Amino acid sequence: MTATGAAASAGSVRYDRARESATVLGIYLASIAVALMVAALVLFATGGSWTSVLSALLDGSVRGPGRWGTTIGVGIPLLLVALGTIINSRAGLVNLGQEGQLFVGAALGTYVATHIGVGGPGVLFLIMLAGVAGGAIWAGIAAVLRYQRRMPEVLTTLLLVFVAAQAVGYGLKNKNLLLDPTPDQANRNLISERLRPDTRIPRLDWFGNDFPMTAFIALLLAILVTLVLRWTIVGFRLQMLGRGPRTAHRAGVSEARYGGLALVISGAFCGLAGAFMLTGGDFGNYRLTPNYPVNIGWEGLLVALVGRNHPLVVIPVAFVFAALRTGSGFLAATGVDRDITKVVQALLVLALLVPPAILFVRDRRRALAAAAERV
């Protein structure tokens, strides 16, 4: 091949690559646009105005005084749940039990916090540890059932969500478990005792926006997950298990050990998210309440999906999802029901599921056509 020919083909490769990424970007933008259009249509059909909705969402999430601090506070557990989800997805396992793992983590944290009787940083650390243990145990049940009894982890994690809600609900009815034992406490309020001030996470105040310090821990964990997945042997083996279980098996990667590990770590992240919610102050005012996870577990799962299972990409996605949540509180003034944000979130997720599938089908078709030509 001559020098000019090589240069020309290099140029055309570059051109092809540019065109390829433009197509991919175009498909993504088109499907997001369709999702937003559907959301706008729903809004339009019920007589809402999308400009006022958008401005209320922005006011509630970032523009209003002190609002972006709240949004960060809500984003922390979302980010943690998403990080856990990334680990099991990379290992080729589907965990649908985040909501339950988070709840058990928060409940165990509450138990430790209310029964230990003293406060201080050591106790705060113990609460975190209890949260991690709670989430890990709840996911561990599914892991044991998966690798001892060959039960699909998808079903067991999902079913355990409902068991968790009932188990914690039982705890919240008993004074020697979680229920606030204060005598003047009305019997119908099924809430736990309030956490002592010295077992709460210190809140930072930046420009009138305050948020718990755990935000930095969450960011560090995101970096840590990135590094572990990219540079360590454990991370490599986990992803090998996800990409090709047979190859992993032949390379001596124990499916039970690494798959189980992935599930337990995933649960631990969710449990930690629960402990952070409890001690952070943005949820339930330092008390455990029934329905405490308020869908953070499900939404964290969606954050991981939208972030395409990348531990750094999920950081801004978690913030956007948190902004939709905190912004929805300001929608009442516009007369639009706050549930519209749920619709927007779900539509966005559905829209982002389409492009990879389209690309996959297209590439297959191309590969098949190329194979047919060669014959």
CA-to-CA distance for 288 and 192, rounded, in angstroms? 5
- 245 sits near other proteins (criterion: CB under 8 A): no
- 191 sits near other proteins (criterion: CB under 8 A): no
Here the tokens at position 112 are: 């430790």
H or E, element range at 209? strand 209-212
C-beta of residue 122 within 8 angstroms of C-beta of residue 307: no
C-beta of residue 309 within 8 angstroms of C-beta of residue 86: yes
The set of residues, in sequence order, having a beta carbon less than 8 Å from that of 82 and lying 6+ positions away, is 300, 301, 303, 304, 307, 314, 317, 318
- 44 sits near other proteins (criterion: CB under 8 A): no
- 341 sits near other proteins (criterion: CB under 8 A): yes
- 47 sits near other proteins (criterion: CB under 8 A): yes
- 374 sits near other proteins (criterion: CB under 8 A): no
Interface with other proteins in residues 155-174 (CB under 8 A):
155-156, 158-160, 162-163, 165-167, 169-170, 173
Among 32, 40, 94, 294, binds other proteins (CB under 8 A): 94
In this complex, which beta carbon is closest to other proteins, that of residue 198 or of residue 339?
A: 339
Pattern 268-307, binding to other proteins, x per CB under 8 A? ---------------------------x--x--xx--x--
CA-to-CA distance for 194 and 186, rounded, in angstroms? 15
> What do you get for the CA distance between the two ends of the chain, in Å?
26
In this complex, which beta carbon is closest to other proteins, that of residue 143 or of residue 160?
A: 160
Pattern 135-154, binding to other proteins, x per CB under 8 A? ----------x---xxxx-x
To 5 degrees, how large is the angle CA 9–CA 10–CA 16?
85
- 30 sits near other proteins (criterion: CB under 8 A): no
Alpha-carbon dihedral of residues 162, 163, 167, 172, nearest 10 degrees? 0
Binding site for other proteins (CB under 8 A): 42, 46-48, 94, 96, 145, 149-152, 154-156, 158-160, 162-163, 165-167, 169-170, 173, 295, 298, 301-302, 305, 336-337, 339-343, 345-347, 349-350, 353-354, 356-358, 360-361, 364
